[in-house]
Structures are given as structure tokens and as C-alpha cells.
Amino acid sequence: MSDTKTGAETLINALVEQGVEVIFGYPGGAVLPIYDALFQQNSIRHILVRHEQAAVHAAEGYARSTGKVGCVLVTSGPGATNAVTGLTDALMDSIPIVCLTGQVPTHLIGQDAFQEADTTGITRACTKHNYLVKNADDVSSVVHEAFLVASTGRPGPVVIDLPKDVLMNQTGVYKRKADVRRSSYRPVVKGELSQIEKAVEALAGAKRPIIYAGGGVINAGPNASKLLVEFTRMTGVPITNTLMGLGVYPASDKQFVGMLGMHGTYEANLAMYNCDVMINIGARFDDRITGKIDEFSPNSTKVHVDIDPSSINKNIMVDIPIIGDAGHVLEDMIRMWRSKALSIDAGALSDWWGQIESWRSVDCLGFTQDTGDAEIRPQHALKRLHEMTKHRDDVLISTEVGQHQMWAAQYIGFEKPNRWMTSGGLGTMGYGFPAAIGMQIGNPDACCIDVAGEASILMNIQELSTAVQYRLPVKIMIINNQWMGMVRQWQELLHGGRYAESYTESLPDFVKLAESFGAKGIRATKESELDAALQEMLDSDTMTIFDCCVTKDENCFPMIPSGKPHYDMLLPGTSQEKVAAAIQGEGLALV
Amino acid sequence: MSETRTFAVLVDNEPGVLARVIGLFSGRGYNIESLTVTEVDDDANLSRITIVTGGTTQVLIQIRNLLERLVPVHRVEDLTANANSNDLEPPVQRELALVKVVGAGDKRVEALRIADIFKAEVVDTGLSHFVFEVKGRKEQLDRFIELMVPLGLNEICRSGVIAVSRGDQAL
């Protein structure tokens, strides 16, 4: 029996065969055999986080910035339950993650053993798929299947629950990656050509077309973004991106009309409302995009390209559904557009662009910033961050969740995909910092910045210890207004300015906090200090917190109030009375 | 507008597969009117699930797509919709019930006469009770049970609906 291995060793071999280079994890009793096997090899690097939620977010940041599958290792019971928020986040944003969870030995399952939790039961609703491995002989095949499921079709998180005895038992079985398939799992990749033909013909007949592209294009790989740019340019059509899709089309290009949705640009939302043909590629008509459903783009023919059939006709009924991978479908669209020598009526398109330019001239993101001793406005801080980094190709941005996230999306332009990591679907405060750690691990030479709020950053602040341990020069830029800004804004809109629990008393001194972890702390409180502080942050080669103290009562505009259609936007400078009256009736109950 | 549909779902017979299917319904507030499941192919390790459910057209499309998205699911067939689109009669649907009736005298005789009409079989009896085995369409069983209420209906167990499409095409 000399060629048998333990379940844990077999697991490591399978991970190595899958090309795993990094695991984000936290040890505990049930996974000690895996840690022992990790200790005795050199192929896989383990990054010790300080909380299991952060392990999953770090793996997400790693996956989103590198295009690889993110790998997580946590122990049974609380290790697994702490990972649940991260798994749900990855499910909502379609991020490929394989999460290994320890489990009590098989003979103790169901006995309420120490650190036992029904992990497959708990994670069934927040994973794409999960496994409980009951025999060491199955370890290799389950690992290979899990990576296949996580990374193909619509990507997502997969959990492998590994009882301790399975990890310690000997097995002589090792299945290679190439020998593992699952006959019931067959994601569709190529779109149906007859549907694609209908789509391009609809576009060619359009007078007011728009392309609305989302995170699905990022998940289809960098080549899909290149094809999207090619298709958009050859057709001359305006393009908008979702929050998840920022970077699939260069923000500096004149055909880009900005992000759409609740805090999207005036021109993008009005173009969506008034268009006659809409090509949705890799987005899912999320409620933050559609606003009031029955007034969503009422006069358009809608094409929807999505790899997940269950995304189609879920929120919005579409005319031409195409099930397939964004890259493959775009390739076919481009080929057909050329071979049929299609084009859009030049006069109509020029009129449409004229209309869009008039909306653009409203300058919905405009603001004024006083200089010198004046307080820094958050919009200005992020605009300066963009201006000071836009010449570089190595800047990766993550965010937490709230006003700062929306301002970052509005004022930082992205030229390429995989540069922008934000919790779009679940809206997880505490996402951005561990995600930035994962980004930095996957891209050691990149400039990784977490744009944070002072409330969100406290949700995973313990990860400073991780960043310092691995000497990661991650930058946190805290847009510090001492309020949970988006909560405060909604209380102003919906609850008569009764600011219940949205002000944070007793904030830490973030500079001293950074220093206590062995990191660097910087602060700016007035406009005259901003550029120097930003430069110091950008130049820093160690873990750095920049506490950017900003004006306290800014609202994030433009905004489509919940329950309102796209044409009913609140623009900057809206009076408080108008803001207070903006949401009524059914909108009050919406989120 | 809500309609009722019968889905046939072929799945790998493995732990957790039924929980995945049921979780999909409960997590989204969809309704299950009837659900049956058992292994149908020992060699290929396949089980067949029959689900009767109701909802709007949009919900029914979602149910189908969500079922197909599950990793252990091989095939999903909306038997009702298929019959409609192929101009066939509704799918063959059968259910089995075990019905315990307790009583004496005339009521006992009447229960037996009704059972005869429904071709129900007596599978257990004593001096004061019958257990009837009755099979047929759901509506037939509903009617049989309704008639047994005044005759001493005591306990009901129903199998849930199983169904196959008409015609020579297989799932």
C-alpha cells in the first residue's frame, strides 16, 4: 500500500493539478490534516486571514482581478458559517470560488458534535453547488468537478465539505482533471445563430439604439471586452455599463454614456428610457437598473444575451433572448454584421447622438469645490484620485458599500475590465478591504486601492493584520464623513430626516489605528492638503490608510428615487424639500 | 393569471438533490401542489421527480429554468405545456390513495358499494373498518374521499401525482 495517500494529501494534489497557487484561509480542528499537508509542500501558498468572511472576499478580489478561481479553506462550524456572507456575495456577483470547509468526522455528523454545523444545508441556498465528501476515494473527482462547476457557465461559489476522517483516511484513488465530467452539467456557450441574426437585424433597423453591458462580459474574459469595443465602434451605438460591468468599455471613449441605474448618469438613463432597440449583453435587469418596471424603456425591442437562461424574462420580458457566453455571441454578432454589410441609418443615428449630447450637457456629475482651507467634497476627492492615476495601467480599485461606492463608480473611469471590484449584488459592507488584499496577492506589482467609508471599513478592519503580515502595500482611502452616508441619505428621503443610528459616535483615530497595526496612516481635512496626501498614499510601499475627511452631509446624485421611472431623476442641487417629497406611495416600501 | 403545470424532472439519485429542488421553490415562495420522487434507473442511478405546481407564465418559465440550472438535474419537461404545443391530450396522470374508513351497519355497506364503483380494493379490514386502495386521476381520488367523509373517513394517505406524456416520445 505504498502508493496510497491521505485524503488531505490527495486534496492538495488535486488543487495543484487545478493550478491553484493561493488559498485564503483560517485553521481549526477539523481542517488540521489539510494544514499539515499544506505545511509539507511548496506549490500552494496559504494566506492567513483574520476572519473567514474576509477569506472569501479576498478570494473574490483575487478571482475578479486575475480571472482565476479563488480558493478558500475554513474549518467546520463557525468557520463555515462565517464564510456564508462571502459565499452569498460571490453567488450574487457570479464570482468563481471553491471553498473547502472542514467537517466533524462522519461518525459524529448529526450528533451535535463540537464545532459541527450542517454546512451543506446552510450553504445550499448561497452556492452554485455543494458537496459533502464521505469517502477519501472521492476527494480528487469532487475537487475537479467543483472547479468545473465554479468556473464554467454562469460562475459562482462551490463548497466542498470535508469530514476530518475523510481527510485522514488513506486512498489509492486519484482521478485526473481530464477524466472528470458530469453528464447532467452542460452549460450552453454558443448562442443560437437564428436569434443572433434577429438581434443584429433589429439593431440595423434601429433609430435610437443602445448597448447595455454588464458583468457577464467581464466573466466571459478580456477578449469579450475587446469584441464588445469592436462591435460598439463598428455600429456607432451609444453604450452604457452597469456597476458590475464598469471597465468592459473604456470610460474615456466618446461612445460611452456612463453608468446607468439608480445613481447612473442622466444621459445613460434617459437613453435607456427613450431607446427603440436595446442590446443587453451580460446584465440581468436588476432592480437598481430598471427602476419602475412598468415604465422601464417602454418603446424598445429588447435583446438579452445571458449565459444563464433563468436570468432571461425574470424581471423584464424581452423580445429576442440569446442564451450563450457574451464573448461567443459578440463574435457571431460581429461576423454577421460584416457579412450582411449591415449599418444603422446615419441620419437617425446622428439625431440620436444629438439628443444624447443635449442630455450630456446637463453635466449631471458636475460639482464645485472651493480651494484652500475649504472642506473636501467627496466627489472631488475621488475625481482627484482618478486624475492622479488615470495615466497608469496598474491601478485596481475595490470599494465597500454605500455613498463612497457610488461616487467611486461615477468619478473613477475604467479603461479595461478586471480593474474594478465592488459588491454589486449583495451590497456587502466590509467587502472592499479583504478584496483588495486578494487583488494585491494576485497582482503583486499593482496599485490596489480600497475606496471605503468610515463605517464599512470597520466591518473587516482586523485584516490590517493580514496585510501587514504579508507586507502588502494595499491602500485604503476612507471617504470619512462620520455618517453611514447612504443610510443618512435615505432617512432624509424617506423618513423626514430622522437620522436613527446612522451617525457613528466614537470613531477611531484611523491614523493611530493604522500605526498600531504597523501600517501607515495619513489624514487630510482640507482641500489644500488633498493632493499631497493622495500622492503620499499612492507612493507608499506599505499598507496605508488615508483618512480623507470630507463634507458631512453630501447626498449622492443623480438619483432615481425608488419606484420612479428613469426620466424622474434627482439631479445635483436638488432642494431639500424636493428630495423629501421625492418618494411616496409604493416607493416607500422598496429598498 | 395562474395555471397549473406538471413537470417531470430526471435527476442523479444522490443525497441532497431533493432538498435542492424543494429549496428552489421555498426560497422563492413558489407553491408545490404535489411532489413524488423515486429511483427509476438503478444502473444509471437516476431518479424521476414529478412536480405539480402553479403560477403565472413568467413564474413557470423561471421554475423550469431554475430546475435546469441545478447541477444534478439531467432533464426538465413541462408535460402540460408539451401536450398543449403538440396538440395532445393532457399527460397521463395517476395517483394512489390508502383510505381508512371506520363504521358499522348501513354506512359500512355503502362504503363498500362506493368503493366498488371507484374500483377501489379492500387491502385491510376488520369488523369495524376498511382500508381502501384507490387509484386514478387526482380529481377521482378527491371525489372518492369526499364521499367517504359521511361514511366514517378516518385516515388518508396519498402518493402524490405521477405522470408521463402521451404518444411515443420518451422524456
Q: Containing H/E element for A242?
A: none
Q: Chain B residue with minimal CA distance to A184?
A: B74
CB pairs under 8 A between A and B: 41
Q: What pLDDT is stored for residue A452 in this prediction? A: 98
Minimal Cβ distance to B23: which of A125, A128, A313: A125
Q: Is the Cβ pair B65, A309 closer than 8 Å?
A: yes
Q: What is the rounded CA–CA span in Å between residue A281 and residue A301?
A: 14
The model's confidence at residue A583, banded by pLDDT at 50, 70 and 90, is confident
Could you give the percent of chain A with pLDDT greater than 70? 100
Task: Give the distance, in angstroms, between the CA of residue A234 and the centroid of all CA atoms in the same chain.
Answer: 29
Q: Is the Cβ pair A124, B68 closer than 8 Å?
A: no
- Mark whether A52 is an active-site residue: yes
Number of residues that make up chain B? 171
Q: Is the Cβ pair B65, A129 closer than 8 Å?
A: no
Task: Give the distance, in angstroms, between the CA of residue B135 and the centroid of all CA atoms in the same chain.
Answer: 11
Name the residue among A155, A124, A174 with its Cα closest to residue A14: A174
- Mark whether A170 is an active-site residue: no
Kindly report the nearest CA distance between residue A145 and chain B, in angstroms.
10
pLDDT tens, residue by residue, A256-301? 999 999 999 999 999 999 999 999 999 999 999 998 999 999 999 9
Q: Chain B residue with minimal CA distance to A155?
A: B69
> Chain B residues with CB inside 8 Å of A309's CB?
65, 68-69
Q: Chain B residue with minimal CA distance to A153?
A: B69
> Chain A residues with CB inside 8 Å of B28's CB?
none
How confident is the model over A552-580, as a mean pLDDT? 87
User: In the predicted model, is pLDDT for residue A185 greater than 80?
Assistant: yes
Kindly report the nearest CA distance between residue A197 and chain B, in angstroms.
24
> Chain A residues with CB inside 8 Å of B11's CB?
184
Among residues 80-139 of chain B, which lie with CB inside 8 Å of chain A? none
Q: What pLDDT is stored for residue A172 in this prediction? A: 97
> Chain A residues with CB inside 8 Å of B71's CB?
128-129, 149, 182, 184-185
Alpha-carbon distances, residue A10 vs A4, A136, A268, A339, A360 (angstroms): 9, 8, 52, 51, 58
Minimal Cβ distance to A309: which of B20, B27, B68: B68
Cis (ω within 30 of 0) for the bond into A558? yes
- Asked if A132 reaches chain B (Cβ–Cβ under 8 Å), the answer is yes
* A256-259 sheet: strands from edge to edge: A256-259, A239-241, A209-213, A277-281, A301-306, A320-323
Question: In this predicted model, which residue has the larger pLDDT, A57 or A584?
Answer: A57
Q: Chain A residue with minimal CA distance to B28?
A: A125
**Which grid coordinates belong to A36?**
499539515
pLDDT tens, residue by residue, A443-478? 999 999 999 999 999 999 999 999 999 999 999 999
pLDDT tens, residue by residue, B72-114? 999 999 999 999 998 999 999 999 999 999 999 999 999 999 9
Q: Cβ(A74)–Cβ(A25) under 8 Å?
A: yes
Q: What is the rounded CA–CA span in Å between residue A130 and residue A125?
A: 10
The model's confidence at residue A3, banded by pLDDT at 50, 70 and 90, is confident
Minimal Cβ distance to B71: which of A184, A310, A312: A184
- Mark whether A295 is an active-site residue: no
User: In the predicted model, is pLDDT for residue A582 greater than 90?
Assistant: no
Q: What is the rounded CA–CA span in Å between residue A559 and residue A579?
A: 10
Q: What pLDDT is stored for residue A585 in this prediction? A: 72
Q: What is the rounded CA–CA span in Å between residue A96 and residue A158?
A: 8
> Chain B residues with CB inside 8 Å of A130's CB?
16
> Chain B residues with CB inside 8 Å of A128's CB?
71
Question: Which of B13, B21, B71 is the best substitution to test chain A (most A C-beta atoms within 10 A)?
Answer: B71
Minimal Cβ distance to A149: which of B61, B62, B71: B71
Q: Is the Cβ pair A310, B66 closer than 8 Å?
A: yes
Tell me the sheet residues that pair with B102. B129
The model's confidence at residue A2, banded by pLDDT at 50, 70 and 90, is low
- Asked if B74 reaches chain A (Cβ–Cβ under 8 Å), the answer is yes
Q: Is the Cβ pair B15, A132 closer than 8 Å?
A: yes
Catalytic annotation, pick one of A40, A41, A111, A114: A114
- Asked if A124 reaches chain B (Cβ–Cβ under 8 Å), the answer is yes
Q: What is the rounded CA–CA span in Å between residue A399 and residue A508?
A: 20
The model's confidence at residue A587, banded by pLDDT at 50, 70 and 90, is confident
Residue A255, phi then psi, degrees to nearest 5: -80, -10
ipTM score of the complex? 0.92
pLDDT tens, residue by residue, B19-78? 999 999 999 999 999 999 999 999 999 999 999 999 998 999 999 999 999 999 999 999
Q: Is the Cβ pair B19, A124 closer than 8 Å?
A: yes
Q: What pLDDT is stored for residue A405 in this prediction? A: 98
pLDDT tens, residue by residue, A82-99? 999 999 999 999 999 999
Minimal Cβ distance to B71: which of A129, A308, A313: A129
DSSP three-state, residue A533: helix
pTM metric for this prediction: 0.96
Q: What pLDDT is stored for residue A5 in this prediction? A: 97
> Chain B residues with CB inside 8 Å of A184's CB?
11-12, 71-74
Q: Is the Cβ pair A310, B27 closer than 8 Å?
A: no
Q: What interhelical angle do A485-494 and A403-411 show, nearest 10? A: 100
How confident is the model over A166-178, as a mean pLDDT? 98
> Chain B residues with CB inside 8 Å of A129's CB?
70-71
Catalytic annotation, pick one of A272, A439, A477, A486: A486
Q: How many CB atoms lie within 10 A of CB A497?
A: 12
DSSP three-state, residue A420: strand
Residue B36, phi then psi, degrees to nearest 5: -130, 150
- Mark whether A164 is an active-site residue: yes
Q: What is the rounded CA–CA span in Å between residue A254 and residue A276?
A: 21
Kindly report the nearest CA distance between residue B106 and chain A, in angstroms.
52
- Asked if A121 reaches chain B (Cβ–Cβ under 8 Å), the answer is yes
Alpha-carbon distances, residue A206 vs A344, A346, A414, A563, B102 (angstroms): 7, 10, 28, 29, 73
Residue A244, phi then psi, degrees to nearest 5: -75, -20
- Asked if B14 reaches chain A (Cβ–Cβ under 8 Å), the answer is no
3-state secondary structure A264-322: CCHHHHHHHHHCCEEEEECCCCCHHHHCCHHHCCCCCEEEEEECCHHHCCCCCCCCEEE
- DSSP per-residue letters across A315-349: SS--SEEEES-HHHHHHHHHHHHHHTT----HHHH
pLDDT tens, residue by residue, A316-354? 999 999 999 999 999 999 999 999 999 999 999 999 999
Q: Chain A residue with minimal CA distance to B13?
A: A184
Question: Which of B10, B48, B65 is the best substitution to test chain A (most A C-beta atoms within 10 A)?
Answer: B65
User: In the predicted model, is pLDDT for residue A423 greater than 60?
Assistant: yes
Q: What pLDDT is stored for residue A486 in this prediction? A: 96
Q: Chain A residue with minimal CA distance to B10?
A: A184
Q: Cα dihedral sign for A286, A264, A397, A53?
A: negative
The model's confidence at residue A499, banded by pLDDT at 50, 70 and 90, is very high
**Which grid coordinates belong to B97?**
390513495
The model's confidence at residue B12, banded by pLDDT at 50, 70 and 90, is very high
Identify each DSSP E strand in A8-52 by its residue range.
22-25, 45-48
Q: What is the rounded CA–CA span in Å between residue A363 and residue A267?
A: 9
Q: What pLDDT is stored for residue A578 in this prediction? A: 75
Q: Cβ(A48)–Cβ(A469) under 8 Å?
A: yes
> Rg for chain A (alpha carbons), in Å?
25
Q: What pLDDT is stored for residue A485 in this prediction? A: 96
Q: Identify the weakest region by mean pLDDT among A52-61, A561-570, B30-39.
A: A561-570
Mean pLDDT of chain A: 96
Q: What pLDDT is stored for residue A202 in this prediction? A: 98
Q: What is the rounded CA–CA span in Å between residue A80 and residue A99?
A: 9
Task: Give the distance, in angstroms, between the CA of residue B41 and the centroid of all CA atoms in the same chain.
Answer: 20
Q: Is the Cβ pair A313, B72 closer than 8 Å?
A: no
- Asked if A392 reaches chain B (Cβ–Cβ under 8 Å), the answer is no
- Mark whether A405 is an active-site residue: no
Name the residue among A578, A576, A554, A412 with its Cα closest to residue A488: A554
- Asked if A575 reaches chain B (Cβ–Cβ under 8 Å), the answer is no
Q: What is the rounded CA–CA span in Å between residue A137 and residue A170?
A: 8
Rounded to 10 degrees, the C-alpha dihedral B69/B75/B76/B81 comes to: 140
Q: What is the rounded CA–CA span in Å between residue A18 and residue A14?
A: 6
